[in-house]
Chains A and B, each alone.
Chain A
Amino acid sequence: MLSIRNLQSGYGRIQALHGIDVDVAEGEIITLIGANGAGKTTLLMTICGKPRASQGEIVFEGEEITRLPTFQIARRGIAHAPEGRRIFPRMTVRENLQMGAAVTPPQYFTDDLDRVLTLFPRLRERLDQRGGTLSGGEQQMLAIGRALMGRPRLLMLDEPSLGLAPLVVRQIFQIIREINREQKVTVFLVEQNAFHALKLAHRAYVMVNGRIAMSGTGEQLLADPAVRAAYLEGGHPAAEETEEAR
């Protein structure tokens, strides 16, 4: 569905991606993990054309999108809940969701809104509240909901668990799984929360300094000693792991 070949990109003279190859097949959940500054956000943003790729190509559903304007990439069915959530702060929750559906045919709106509000009941109570006044977790829900309002075929999520309480994190991951299974949306997930994200993933990539260092199924990477040492053992005590395994 999405295939990225030898992608290079960066900011001005600073190069952040040094030749990335990533494939996402229809129906998959792909997880990308990596340390701070590895280039994960840059990869997702480059797929959307901000910044532009300096080398390489991005093919989505058989069509090259490397040089398309950002809004056209979005209209091809790629939704992005970006880093920092980027809720429109002075618009209400409803308006934020309407913006998510800005380029979908209006007849879907009521049903889609209902579906998103069923996934995130908290948002229903806050429809007329300004986005900027939501809590962090609510903003994250809104960011995902807004992305879903565009009826995407590919949903890209940049650290949806950032700053959230463990319980909410679990909820969010549960919902990502649901979206993938029930709404048949392909998911490209960037996470620091490597344990949950790898559990969820069909396949996963590890990024180090702007390069893909490793890839495999979620279980393979979870079992890999190097991955465990770098991304799991520190932040995720074994207790959580066993609890999750039950």
Chain B
Amino acid sequence: MEYFIQQLINGISLGAIYGLIAIGYTMVYGIIGMINFAHGEIYMIGAFVSLIGFLFMGVLGISYIPLALFLVLLMAMLFTAIYGWAIERIAYRPLRGSVKLAPLISAIGMSIVLQNYVQLTQGARVKPLQPIIQGGFELSGANADFHVRLSYLQIVIVLLTIALMSIFTYVITRTPLGRAQRATEQDMTMASLLGINVDRIISTTFVMGAALAAVAGLMVTLYYGVIDFYIGFIAGMKAFTAAVLGGIGSLPGAMLGGLLIGLIEAFWSGYFSIGYKDVAAFSILVLVLIFRPTGLLGKPEVEKV
């Protein structure tokens, strides 16, 4: 039982991270109908900016951890958002209105460029970070040999994710900006006939997705303590899987999908073999897609006007 709870805790923490990345995939897909394959790299850049941010905090001598964390969070979101914005401007906007495959290929190219860019500027070696948030709760039950560990960091991850997703859901469902985003998603031409600057709405969408991915990057840096230029690929694939599993284009779907992938991974590693955890996650995806091609919360293929 303790072991089960432990995997549950690990799975939820991991799932929160995947969910944050998945939102970026799902939003961009919703609004311009393309898979932004460079999004995993955005997350990786978020992780690097966080790492640099913590070193910077060390240089500045800011040792009060909540403050340092907050500043690094802002910094990571800001810089990563700029990357997200620039990628859309450089690699996707010029291709809007051309064949559907073009931005997809451009995205793969962008992803390679970003990986190599980080590899060149930051080096190819794995970067460590001293643990920043340490400690946690030890919960012991009937089994004296095994204690359930719930670290403070896991609590931070889950609370921060819940907070961000709530803000985010509020923005999308209740504010004029969110309304304009949904309108653009449903009928871009009509939105522009109503005076909506569609290009700006699309930019904003990339910026929002990138900012959330940055938070995921920060949390992964803290969680694992090591990053390298290649982490974007696997995490990107997982988050993309999460988005598809939940139903691509659906926000709650991305959150649910992220959570599920995190849980599957944690339980598979915990009970079966850690080496096959990715296989497990992707197999579940295949199964879901066979029986529910639109994903768990996806809407049936929508009429595109």
Q: A residues bordering B, Cβ < 8 Å? A: 48, 50, 69-72, 74-75, 79-80, 82, 84, 86, 88-91, 95, 98-100, 102-103, 146, 150
Contact = CB atoms under 8 A, between A and B. Distances in A.
A70 B299 CA distance: 30
27 contacts: A50-B192, A70-B189, A70-B193, A71-B195, A71-B196, A74-B194, A74-B195, A79-B193, A82-B190, A86-B187, A86-B189, A86-B190, A86-B193, A88-B182, A88-B187, A89-B186, A91-B183, A95-B179, A99-B180, A99-B194, A99-B196, A100-B194, A102-B180, A102-B196, A103-B194, A103-B195, A103-B196
Contacts of B183: 88, 91, 99, 102
A240 B18 CA distance: 65
Contact of B197 (A71, A82, A90): A71
B302 to A, nearest CB: 8
B301 interface: no
A70 B192 CA distance: 6
A90 B193 contact: no
Contacts of A150: 194-195
A48 B179 contact: no
B167 interface: no
A48 B193 contact: yes
B186 A88 contact: yes
Contacts of A74: 192-195
B190 A75 contact: no
A40 B189 CA distance: 18
Given A80-B193, A103-B194, 10 more contacts: A50-B193, A70-B189, A86-B190, A88-B183, A95-B179, A98-B176, A99-B191, A102-B179, A102-B194, A102-B195
Interface string B182-209: 1100110111111111100000000000
Contacts, number: 71
Contacts of B187: 86, 88
A48 B305 CA distance: 17
A102 B197 CA distance: 11
B197 to A, nearest CB: 5
A91 B184 CA distance: 11
B303 interface: yes
Nearest to A76: B195
Nearest to A99: B183
B197 A91 contact: no
- Please indicate which of the listed interface residues A75, A80, A88, A146 has the most CB atoms of chain B within 10 Å of its own CB: A88
Nearest to A131: B186
Contact of A89 (B176, B192, B195, B303): B303
A99 B192 contact: no
Given A102-B196, A103-B196, A90 B182 contact: yes
B179 A91 contact: yes
Interface in B217-271: none
Nearest to A106: B176
Contacts of B176: 98, 102
Given A74-B193, A102-B194, A103-B195, A86 B305 contact: yes
